[in-house]
Amino acid sequence: MNEDKKNRKTVLVVGATGYIGNAVVTESVQQGYDVIAVTRSLKSDCQFSGAEVVLADVTDPASMAKVFHRKIDIVISCLACRSGLAKDFDDIDYKATLNILNAAKENGTNQFILLSAICVRKPDLPLQLAKLKMEDELMRAGIDYTIVRPTAYFWVFEAQTRMIENGKPGFLIGTGDQASHNPIAKQDLAEYMVGSIDNSERINRLFIIGGPETAENIVTYKDSLLIVFESISKEPKLISIPCWLFRAFIQLTRFIGLFSRKIGVFSEFLKITYYYTNNDMRAPGYGSITIRQHLMDTVRKAQT
């Protein structure tokens, strides 16, 4: 695709302030598209160089209809509920995303690119069921689509980095090596998604992708913690929480969550954490950035 053609195409990114959405906006701008980033508010972290920022409520069909008052060529949906109760995942990953799809169809949008997740292939959690429903809606919508199911992101493996830097131990569920992953960097995933625009080989297809399939990027959760300790030149200090105890804690918080939304949300988070640490997330490799490289660079930059 030549640059002049790219510059005439308008790409709408929803979920633009999220971990992946932010990177997708940046990549879309770099590739020469006319980019609109949809946000809920004009906070300082909602400023995207080279992109137009539009305020809208994705849960309100009328609000989204206003966003589509002009021609939108491509929609890239990175909407995702990071935490919440079962209803919250359904409201965002399914219903809100469906609002956007309906508006896109009404607008005559050419292509809808959906960020899903690899974990839906073994659905057991509300977020997975919501994403599957949305995938089904998109495949039956009559609009050209591309569905991307990435493996785990880097942030999953760096969540304990700050604690370890401050002298705390790293915590494992079970042995920490029950599952292996080839996580993908947000930059590589964004490149793949934007590269799906008008790509005839990716139209009306679903793709499962991970990061590089190299020794430095095929890791267990335990491996990732050991890399963090290595990067700060400290002897590894790991504490293992037995799987049975972690499951019991999930059940306890689930019960308390019937009376407290905060605890209910925490219980859902624990279930997601347990799922990711006990299910392999290996996927066909893409990109060049490895989790080892990322963790080593992140920790060293923080120390300078």
Domain range 3-153+184-209, CATH architecture: 3-Layer(aba) Sandwich (3.40)
CA atoms within 13 A on the CB side of 142: 4
- Residue 270 and residue 249 in contact, taking contact as beta carbons nearer than 8 Å: yes
pLDDT tens string 141-169: 999 999 999 999 999 898 898 899 889 99
Q: What is the dihedral of CA 272, 45, 77, 290, to 10 degrees?
A: -60
Tens of pLDDT along 293-304? Answer: 998 888 777 666
Per-residue pLDDT, averaged over 215-221, amounts to 95
Q: Convert the pLDDT of each residue in 171-185 to its tens digit.
A: 999 999 999 999 999
Q: Does residue 275 surpass a pLDDT of 80?
A: yes
Q: Reduced to 3 states, what is the DSSP secondary structure of residue 182?
A: coil
Q: Which residue has the higher pLDDT, 245 or 304?
A: 245
**pLDDT, tens only, 90-140:** 999 999 999 999 999 999 999 999 999 999 988 888 899 999 999 999 999
Q: Mind listing the pLDDT tens digit for each residue in 229-240?
A: 998 888 999 999
Strands 144-150 and 170-173: unpaired
Q: Are strands 111-115 and 170-173 parallel, antiparallel or unpaired?
A: unpaired
Q: How far is CA 65 from CA 61, 72, 80, 188, in A?
A: 6, 12, 20, 31
Where residue 6 falls among pLDDT bands split at 50, 70, 90? low
pLDDT band at 1; cut points 50, 70, 90: very low
Residue 47: its pLDDT value, please? 65
Helix (H) or strand (E) run with residue 65 in it = helix 61-67
